[in-house]
């Protein structure tokens, strides 16, 4: 397996929890893993092919309907070994963040205050929906289980909740500053 193919390691990690089809993996990237890593089917299936060639995963075929084949992938002992080795290595570098909201905000000036106000309001709404979703996921997955607080999944979810809460607070402060400025001008 290529040394820097992070997606393959993520797939191995997901397959450690349970066998999954490519479609199941895609759904994981749309929900849980999507909080910190994005991947689509055009990336997932080639990574699965590499993992199969390297004997890090295997699959079973099941016939769905009359003749549709569904492959369910499982991690092998070798895949477990690769994954565990990857877990022990330090993170070599952090990815560059792409945030279109911040980019737009950066380029706005005082002449664009009404656009800025709308941009901030829309962004706050997006983060509020995201926070609501994360809180719901936390309740569904962990409930009141205090022992879960030591799992990596819990910690990542907790971080995402704190991140969204902080963004909402910051965006709310921006909105208030617009309102205060408008009141002073009148």
CB 168 within 8 A of CB 174: no
pLDDT at 96 over 80: no
Residues 6+ apart with CB under 8 A from 120: 105, 171, 174, 175, 178
Number of CB atoms found within 10 A of residue 99's CB: 10
Helix/strand/coil percentages in the chain, nearest 5: 70, 10, 20
Which pLDDT belongs to residue 145? Answer: 77
Percent of the chain with pLDDT over 90: 49
Q: Which residues pair with 121 in a beta bridge?
A: none
H or E element that contains 156: helix 152-185
Distance of alpha carbon 56 from alpha carbon 146, whole angstroms: 34
Dig out the tokens for 71 from the structure: 């492959």
Which pLDDT belongs to residue 110? Answer: 73
Say how many residues make up the chain. Answer: 186
**DSSP E strands, the chain:** 57-64, 68-75
pLDDT at 184 over 80: no
Supply the DSSP symbol for 93. Answer: -
Tens digits of residue pLDDT in 38-60: 888 899 999 999 999 999 999 99
Please report, for the chain, the start and end positions of each structural domain, with discontinuous segments joined by +.
6-88, 100-185
Distance of alpha carbon 22 from alpha carbon 13, whole angstroms: 14
Question: Would the pTM of this model clear 0.75, i.e. be above it?
Answer: no
Tens digits of residue pLDDT in 135-171: 998 898 888 877 777 788 888 889 999 999 999 999 9
Dig out the tokens for 34 from the structure: 């999507």
Which pLDDT belongs to residue 55? Answer: 96
H or E element that contains 21: none
CATH for the 6-88 domain, from 1.10.357.10, 1.10.10.10, 3.40.50.300, 1.10.540.10: 1.10.10.10
H or E element that contains 46: helix 41-53
């Amino acid at each position: 397996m290529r040394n820097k193919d992070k997606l393959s390691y993520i797939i191995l990690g997901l397959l450690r929890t349970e066998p999954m089809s490519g479609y199941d993996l895609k759904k994981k990237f749309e929900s849980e893993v999507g909080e910190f890593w994005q991947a689509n089917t055009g990336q997932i299936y080639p990574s699965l092919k590499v993992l199969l060639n390297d004997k890090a995963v295997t699959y079973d075929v099941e016939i769905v309907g009359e003749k549709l084949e569904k492959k369910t992938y499982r991690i092998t002992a070798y895949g477990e070994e690769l994954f565990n080795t990857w877990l022990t290595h330090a993170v070599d570098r952090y990815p560059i963040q792409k945030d279109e909201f911040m980019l737009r905000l950066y380029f706005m000036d005082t002449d664009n205050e009404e656009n800025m106000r709308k941009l901030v309001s829309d962004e706050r709404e997006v983060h509020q929906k995201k926070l609501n979703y994360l809180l719901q996921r936390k309740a569904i997955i962990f409930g009141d289980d205090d022992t879960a607080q030591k799992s990596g999944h819990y910690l990542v979810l907790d971080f995402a909740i704190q991140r969204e809460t902080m963004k909402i607070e910051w965006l709310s402060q921006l909105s208030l500053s617009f309102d205060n400025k408008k009141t002073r001008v009148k």
